[in-house]
Each structure stands twice: as C-alpha cells, then as structure tokens.
Amino acid sequence: MISLKLQDAINDQINKEMYSEYYYLSMASYFNSIGLNGFENFFLVQVEEERFHSMKMYNFLNEKGGRVILKAIDEPATEFKSALEVFKLAYEHEKFVSKCINELMDVAIDVKDHAAKSFLNWFVDEQVEEEATMDSILNKLKLINGDGMGLLMLDKDLSVRTFNPPVK
C-alpha cells in the first residue's frame, strides 16, 4: 500500500506530465501552422513520450494500491514568436519537470518507499536526457539565429524522429 502523501504527490506529477503532453501538442500545432513539419514531428513524438510518462505513473500508482485522481489540465500557450522561442520555453519546461521529479523523489525518500524510489530513478535518468535534447536543439537554433537555411536543415533532421517506448 502506498502512503497518502506519496499518492497525492504522484497524482500531482501525473497532472504535470499530462500538461506537458498538452503543452507540446500546442507547440506541434504552432509548427504545423508555419509549415515546419519536421519541428511539428519532433513535438508530436514529445507528446507521445509525455503520455508514456503519465501512463507509467498511472500504472505504478494502481499497482501500489493507490488511487489515481485526475485533475484539470491548465491551458497551454498557443502563440509563439519563433522556433527559438519555442525551444527556450521547452528547455525551461524540462528543467521545471526535473525539479518536480526530484521533489517527488524527496517524498518517496521521506516516506521510506523503496519501491517508489526505484521506480522514480527511471524518471530522474529520463530527465537528464530530456533536458539535454532540448538544450542541444536550442543551441543549434542559437547558432543559426533561428532562421534561414539552417532552420530548414534542422527541420529536415527533426522529421525523422520516432517514438520508441522504453522496454522497462
């Protein structure tokens, strides 16, 4: 059985993961509207990853005998100035999610739930990758000043990204 404190914290994180899915879907829509389909694809894959994260937590909470309580999802931003702005926001968002995952881990440690700590280690590691990915693309956009042929080349590169759910 899972503690109520940890159950509430995981439910809050499920909501944050679902918001991330919604936020990235809004970013994908923005890129579609300006004809950058590779960037759109990048964020559609990100949407799938965020959904995977929320469902992973959903399943864990159920397996631990907890109760998933879904909450309202905040409305994401829908208007952006540029690809550069989108990736600045996405990178900051991933840093926020990392902070939230770390705080969730603190709760698991506080209530001495070793199964939850083991489970959450995957998310801690995943956030390192998430931040690195956003930062890498952001740095490329900065190098090309977010426009021109470099933007189109990056768009082409991002068009081949696919979602591969982790085995574990």
Report the alpha-carbon distance of residue 30 to residue 53 in Å, rounded: 23
Residue 73 covered by a domain: no
Residue 105 covered by a domain: yes
Give the CATH number of the domain where residue 10 resides: 1.20.1260.10
Residue 100 covered by a domain: yes
pLDDT in tens, 47-71: 999 999 999 999 999 999 999 999 9
Nearest C-alpha neighbor of 86 from the set 125, 36, 123, 128: 36
pTM to 2 decimal places:
0.95
Residue 97 covered by a domain: yes
> Which residue range forms the structural domain that includes residue 58?
4-68+79-158
Q: Would you say residue 38 has pLDDT above 90?
A: yes
Report the alpha-carbon distance of residue 165 to residue 163 in Å, rounded: 6
pLDDT in tens, 93-139: 999 999 999 999 999 999 999 999 999 999 999 999 999 999 999 99
Nearest C-alpha neighbor of 10 from the set 56, 73, 48: 56
Number of domains in the chain: 1
Report the alpha-carbon distance of residue 100 to residue 105 in Å, rounded: 9
Do residues 92 and 8 touch, judged by C-beta distance below 8 A?
Answer: no
Token representation of residue 166? 């982790």
